Amino acid sequence: MRTRSFVALCSALRPLRSWTGGFGVAVLLIVVFVAAFAAELAPYDPTATQYDAHKQVLRLEPPSAAHWLGTTNYGVDVLSQLIYGSRIVLIVGVACAVLIGLIGTNVGLIAGYYRGRVDNVLMRVTDLAFGIPFLPFAVVLVTLLRPSLWNTIIAISVLMWRTSARVIRVQVLSLRERGFVKAAWIAGASDLRILYIHIFPNVLPMVLLYVAFDIAWAVLAEASISFLGFGDPIQVSWGQMLYLDYVTGSIRQAWWWTLPPGFAISLFVIAVFLVARRYERLAGLRRH
């Protein structure tokens, strides 16, 4: 039984072996590198106004040798903001994925394993979460808690666990009837040991799949919340860049301010989905 668990764990962490998965990993590694060394890579302070030789604010300056991606309506360097915004993407993506994964995985494990009344209660809570529209709820919750990065993360995580919980529950309902689980019962293993030593490694590929999806959805959700003007006002994020671009009326004329954050969000999400597809295939192979 330990061998089965170890093999399942190793297969879930198996290196990605396709060009799509490799491309996705490469993009994610670049984002991690840029976020880690943002202070060294950014040519200017992401919040500092830039001036010309005559002390005039460089408003909506197109790309040039001094400002590779131009400046904003406030005279801020776009490239510097784009680089620092990668930090928010990683913080939101990883933090939300961890919280969502913890909630969804444990709800699914407990509901599928214990069944009966426990299952009914947890699934009704899940149904309630499905009945709440995500974006309006997140906006209202962030507004009530006060706009900040961590309140945005909490608002995103409160509802996003619902899908993974249902899928993992279905897998656990099947796994608990397998011979290795019954053998563990006969051997006198505790419920916690059976859940997290014998069953959990077998649903780990599915957990990793939804963790990857959760990173992508969380980044999109944070960008949406920031674009609506409810993001953290003191943090530079890609969604906030688009929001400021829109509210200043520059979104149609300053393409160098509009395209970079939009392209960065799209590329990051695509990369995460490409990696997730590899885990999706792995999870499918595990089911067969």
Indicate the number of domains in the chain.
1
Within a domain: residue 181? yes
Within a domain: residue 12? no
Within a domain: residue 51? no
User: Residue 122: what pLDDT?
Assistant: 95
Within a domain: residue 33? no
Burial of 36-61, coded b for 16+ CB within 10 Å and e otherwise, reads eebeeebebebeeebeeeeeeebbbb
User: What's the predicted TM-score (pTM) here?
Assistant: 0.86
User: Residue 18: what pLDDT?
Assistant: 73
Within a domain: residue 53? no
User: Residue 15: what pLDDT?
Assistant: 45
User: Residue 204: what pLDDT?
Assistant: 87
Q: State the Cα–Cα distance between residues 118 and 120, nearest whole angstrom.
A: 5
Return contacts of 69-75, CB within 8 angstroms, 24+ apart.
Answer: 69/256, 69/257, 69/260, 70/254, 70/256, 70/257, 72/241, 72/244, 72/245, 72/248, 72/250, 72/254, 72/257, 73/244, 73/245, 73/248, 73/250, 73/254, 73/257, 74/49, 74/244, 75/49, 75/50, 75/51
The domain in which residue 131 lies consists of 73-287
- For the chain, 288 residues long, give each residue's pLDDT as a single digit of tens: 455 555 544 544 454 567 777 888 899 999 999 999 999 999 999 999 999 888 899 999 999 999 999 999 999 999 999 999 999 999 999 999 999 999 999 999 999 999 999 999 999 999 999 999 999 999 999 989 899 999 999 999 998 999 999 999 999 999 988 888 889 888 888 989 999 999 999 998 888 888 888 999 999 999 999 999 999 988 899 999 999 999 998 888 899 999 999 999 999 999 998 888 876 765 554 454
Within a domain: residue 139? yes
Task: Supply the CATH number for residue 97's domain.
Answer: 1.10.3720.10
User: Residue 211: what pLDDT?
Assistant: 87
Within a domain: residue 130? yes
Within a domain: residue 191? yes
